[in-house]
Chain A
């Protein structure tokens, strides 16, 4: 039995009266590639945002490496509006900002690419190393951190070679073609030295060939960096090809979980994607 990296426990995310994620439970073990799938608007990205600290869940908890990092319970206005379950089970409030969670060892990419537009490819990756800097602003300004800076630059070059962007390192990030921008986002996330990599629709907008390349690439980096990967994706080829396990969300609720083969034959999943014939 391998180590548990991420555990989401009874997480509910409610915006006013809308329940975007409803009592979500999931676990990801070390070294696994786990996919989160579901129709549009099922709450997949919201779930990501809860795990990475962008949103504070209305109720529930998130554990990382066996340590509780996020916890909340309905308070204030949400107390009345709350529609989920497990009300009253959580009492504490743990709400770290996304940067703190990244420092713990999680890094993500975005569904709609969010690179730093004015910066070069190289700098985009280098900036992500900032959170691992030990020098303070004074020593950094007066260049007393030369060793660290050199080591960071060397690591960035190495990363760029691995993702195949070394020859465009001095181009502006936004001048790259779409597929390469997606790779750059992954390189940037890797620079933050994560243990768990979260990919939000990494293959969006890619053609079948690019998608196949990406599928292989995700497997490669998992092995190379000893990563655990959690991804959201619509391309079923990619999902079925690399996932160890799959979770399926529909209308914020978890409707199935299992291996790719199990999910492919699950009636509820098929209904959710294709719609149910109206019997009544």
Chain B
């Protein structure tokens, strides 16, 4: 009993400290500072990685459609929130677009500027999530009957189809064809991102530890046994797929917010691969791992290894080697090492509170290692 209590206090303390750090960073640093940027991007990636982990790690469905669902969320957010007076400029090739309203502005009308805009932005995010969930509902039925690698390739293909649709000129009045969507509102500070993604991840955690989450894990461990024990495979797989897509949609909306301008082009399979690899680094089946890996990955790629691209790293000046792209080469080599030799990733299937119940033997080993 005391152990459970200890764990709860430990987890709460860690989370409180992280939130406090984030608020302090926001107060001290301008919003364009690299630290703020890293926190924002890493939080968005955390949410998407956790949503992918729910499907690939906890339910054992190897899906590669994440980029497609993020695309839906991102577009829903951008399309619904671009201010009315900016629409003529954004949709310059499509007569100002088909939509003549902006959700945040509608709410700003009767809730006041600050509150109304925020409510409108959150609502747009939610719409993105719901759209992604609806799409998952539609394609889930045929696609989820497929076995592991066929499922992977079918979901990957689905994401590509979706991308083609969003670039189609006939849908231009809404999607702006292959042109950028921009000028939509976004949170400038890091704290709103952290709070929002944190809440979403908390919901996913609650789900995973509920009776439904346990059923998902049973499907992952042994599908035949799960079905024999009364778990409806089609129903539960679809449920996991829809929920995961919902959060990927919201994550996509937040990514749009972070990027400031979006087009369909970046939502390629490469984005899905990137997130999958983050999940693997963190540990398939660990929420803490996915979050940790997202932060490490973004911190490394956006900040720490910047010098590898800019000619100077750790005081070594070698522009011939440290040129554009070297940082990603280094990162992908690190990823390959993890994939090949540390298959469990950083956390394995452990979570933050589990760090407390290390056995004395392991603790000793660690002390020796240091």
B is bound to A: yes
Considering only CB atoms and an 8 Å cut-off, how many residues of chain A contact the other chain?
Answer: 38
Q: Is B207 an interface residue (CB 8 A)?
A: yes
Which of A118-126, A161-169, A249-257 sits within the interface? A118-126
Which of B62-70, B75-83, B218-226, B270-278 sits within the interface? B218-226
Q: Is A68 an interface residue (CB 8 A)?
A: no
- Chain B residues with CB under 8 A of A102: 228-230
Partner among A117, A126, A188, A192 whose Cβ is within 8 Å of the Cβ of B221: A117
DSSP class of B's interface residues: helix, strand, loop or mixed? Answer: helix
- Chain A residues with CB under 8 A of B243: 137
Most buried by A among B212, B224, B243: B212
Partner among B227, B229, B233 whose Cβ is within 8 Å of the Cβ of A188: B229
* Cross-chain pair count, CB within 8 angstroms: 102
Q: Which residues of B are at the interface with A, using a C-beta cutoff of 8 A?
A: 203, 206-207, 210-212, 214-215, 217-218, 220-222, 224-234, 239, 243, 285, 349
State A107–B225 Cα separation when bound (angstroms): 11
State A145–B212 Cα separation when bound (angstroms): 12
Does A99 lie within 8 Å of B225, measured CB to CB?
no
Mask of A32-55 contacts with B, CB within 8 angstroms, 1/0: 000000000000000000001010
Partner among A98, A119, A189 whose Cβ is within 8 Å of the Cβ of B227: A98
Most buried by B among A117, A127, A142: A127
Interface set, chain A 71-129, CB cutoff 8 A to B? 97-100, 102-103, 107-108, 110, 114-119, 123, 126-129
State A115–B231 Cα separation when bound (angstroms): 14
- Least Cβ distance of B17 to chain A in Å? 26
26 inter-chain pairs at a CB distance below 8 angstroms, sorted by A residue, are A54-B224, A97-B233, A98-B227, A98-B228, A107-B228, A110-B228, A118-B220, A118-B221, A118-B285, A119-B218, A126-B211, A127-B229, A130-B212, A130-B215, A130-B231, A132-B230, A133-B211, A135-B211, A137-B207, A137-B212, A140-B211, A141-B207, A141-B210, A143-B210, A188-B229, A189-B229
Partner among A110, A127, A135, A192 whose Cβ is within 8 Å of the Cβ of B215: A127
State A117–B217 Cα separation when bound (angstroms): 10
Q: Is A149 an interface residue (CB 8 A)?
A: yes
Does A117 lie within 8 Å of B222, measured CB to CB?
yes
Does B222 lie within 8 Å of A116, measured CB to CB?
yes
Most buried by A among B212, B226, B229: B229
- Chain B residues with CB under 8 A of A152: 211
